Amino acid sequence: MSTRDDRYAEAERVKNTGDLAGAVSALEQLVAEEPDFALAHSALAAWCTRLERHQDAVRHARRVVELEPRDPFSYTALSVACMRAGMIPEAEDALARSRMLQG
């Protein structure tokens, strides 16, 4: 049986072949079974943004913030996802939180 890290690596391999939608699908299955896997949620936030699935990107970015609330990068990624989704006040709030954690 594959570990979650193996499955994540396979999703990255799929992405690197140019099948971003297939990679997202693989990671969505992974986080359904491993809902606390922050790295997979982080990748989903970025990859869903690239596919213009902005609401999904925001949902995954929010999950990363829940799982890693002291990581400034998590809030920066949330800010980007929110900005792309047109959620400007939320994007600004997330960026401010990132800066606060860095300082």
Instruction: Please name each of the domains of the chain with its CATH number.
Output: 4-102 (1.25.40.10)
pLDDT tops 90 at residue 8: yes
For residue 35, give every residue at least 6 positions away whose Cβ sits within 8 Å of its Cβ, in sequence order, or none. Answer: 63
pLDDT digits (tens, 9 = 90+) for 49-65: 999 999 999 999 999 99
Average pLDDT over residues 94-102: 96
Structure-token pair, residue 85: 């989704």
Report the pLDDT value the prediction gives residue 1, as an integer from 0 to 100: 67
Report the pLDDT value the prediction gives residue 45, as an integer from 0 to 100: 97
pLDDT tops 80 at residue 46: yes
- Name the residue among 6, 68, 12, 72 with its Cα closest to residue 44: 12
